[in-house]
Amino acid sequence: MSAARLAIAIATLPAMATLAACATTPDSAYPSLGVREAEYESGQFPRPTGDCAPDGPAPVTGQFEPTDPVAPPPPPPPVLSADLAERVVQLEEQARAAHADFEKAVPATRAAVRGSGSVGSKAWGRAQVAYANLESIRARTAIPFADLDSMLAIRSVDGEPVEAVAKAHAEVARLIAEEDAILNELAPAN
């Protein structure tokens, strides 16, 4: 035998030994890869009949019944914290106070706008100032509305309760709508 053939034989000897190990039988039996009874019952495979039916003892049957875990009780619904509830009440009160000031200022503004003269006259100037004052009071109503608006958005996104915030938000929005209607009615000609 030549040196080259001997080198090849020695080099392939570990591979042949490994392949021979795969052909040996194991010391313990592996589980069958045959179709199990549960697979027949689930309809995944048809049950063999006639000559195809397996010989020997019937397969072990049974039903796996998982225990139903006891579901934990649902968490209690979240509630608005006392601090936040107090803040909502304060914001609504601020808006109501500003709205009351707005309503007090409307008659004087209405009189000034009706009595305004030509552009540049003193009466026109008084009407402009009275109207601007009414607009600034409306802004005081809008500030709590903006706070309620952001509070409502943040609480909604966080999944927190928003009923009290939404109620106050809707009420202040109604007050602002009233004020806007009056401002549109009284808007002086420029």
What average pLDDT is seen over the chain? Answer: 80
Per-residue pLDDT band for 66 (boundaries 50, 70, 90) equals: low
pLDDT digits (tens, 9 = 90+) for 78-114: 777 888 889 999 999 999 999 999 999 999 888 888 8
Query: Are 134 and 186 a contacting pair, CB within 8 Å?
Result: yes
Q: Which ranges of 42-162 would DSSP assign to H, the alpha helix?
A: 82-114, 122-158
What's the pLDDT at 174?
95
Could you confirm whether domain 82-186 is CATH 1.10.3720? no
Asked whether 172 and 148 are in contact (CB, 8 A), the reply is yes
Q: Is the pLDDT of residue 62 over 80?
A: no
- Alpha carbon 35 to its chain centroid, in Å, reads 46
Q: pLDDT grade, residue 177 (50/70/90)?
A: very high
* pLDDT tens digits, 105-129: 999 888 888 877 778 788 788 888 8
Task: Determine the Cα–Cα distance for residues 122 and 175; give it in Å rounded to an integer.
Answer: 32
pLDDT tens per residue across span 14-61? 666 665 555 555 565 777 777 777 787 887 777 777 666 666 666 566
| Every domain of the chain and the residues it spans | 82-186
Q: Mean pLDDT throughout 140-150?
A: 93
> Does residue 8 sit in helix, strand or coil?
helix
